[in-house]
Amino acid sequence: MSDERTMRERMLAGDPYIADDPVLAEESRRAQQLTHRLNTADPTDHELRRALLTDLLGAFGEDSELRPPFQCDYGYQTTIGARTFVNWGLVSLDVATVTIGDDVQIGPGVQLLTATHPVEPGPRRDKWEAAQPIVIGDNVWLGGGVIVCPGVTIGADTVVGAGSVVVQDLPSGVVAVGSPAKVIRTL
């Protein structure tokens, strides 16, 4: 039995898909155009930046700030809560959903990577990929250069030290550092 779903439907369901599908390619082009406008906008034109982010993202919370440059795959898969601060250079590979809570602080150069690729060479050569969602809880602080890998949830009030690579879920109210990130203390 063949799978009659579109590649976009497969992607949104978290199933393997091929990214060069024409519909996905058009959605990616739209995101690239909007991020280009955001990244080249006058940094003092807060109204234009908010309008671009509201158009690009699934949600952009009240009193939040995102400093360009910013890159994403689709934009509509990324949501940012209220009063969140995102410093320069965020990469949100939002093939699956990226949910960033309220009152979050994200340091410069952070990468939120939902995309996965097959380990087996045949499917990888055939350009199949998939994704797993990322959830960043309320009042989380991600230090500069943090990488969050596919499928990770970081609990509320947690701090992740600069340069850490988060490969598994972190509970609420802890400090985690390293590669891979490990909990070093409870808050």
CATH number reported for the structural domain that contains residue 125 in this entry: 2.160.10.10
Is 2 part of any domain? no
pLDDT, one tens digit for every residue, the chain (187 residues) = 457 899 999 999 999 999 889 999 999 999 999 999 999 999 999 999 999 999 999 999 999 999 999 999 999 999 999 999 999 999 999 999 999 999 999 999 999 999 999 999 999 999 999 999 999 999 999 999 999 999 999 999 999 999 999 999 999 999 999 999 999 999 9
Is 1 part of any domain? no
pLDDT at 1 (0 to 100): 41
For residue 67, the enclosing domain spans 7-186
Is 35 part of any domain? yes
Is 47 part of any domain? yes
Position of tokens 């340069």? Answer: 163
The one catalytic residue in 51, 117, 155, 163 is 117
The answer to whether residues 104 and 140 touch, using CB atoms and an 8 Å cutoff, is yes
Mapping DSSP to helix (H, G, I), strand (E, B) and coil, where does residue 79 land?
Answer: strand
Distance CA 118, CA 27 (A): 23
Is 67 part of any domain? yes
Active site residue 117: yes
pLDDT at 2 (0 to 100): 59
- Number of domains within the chain: 1
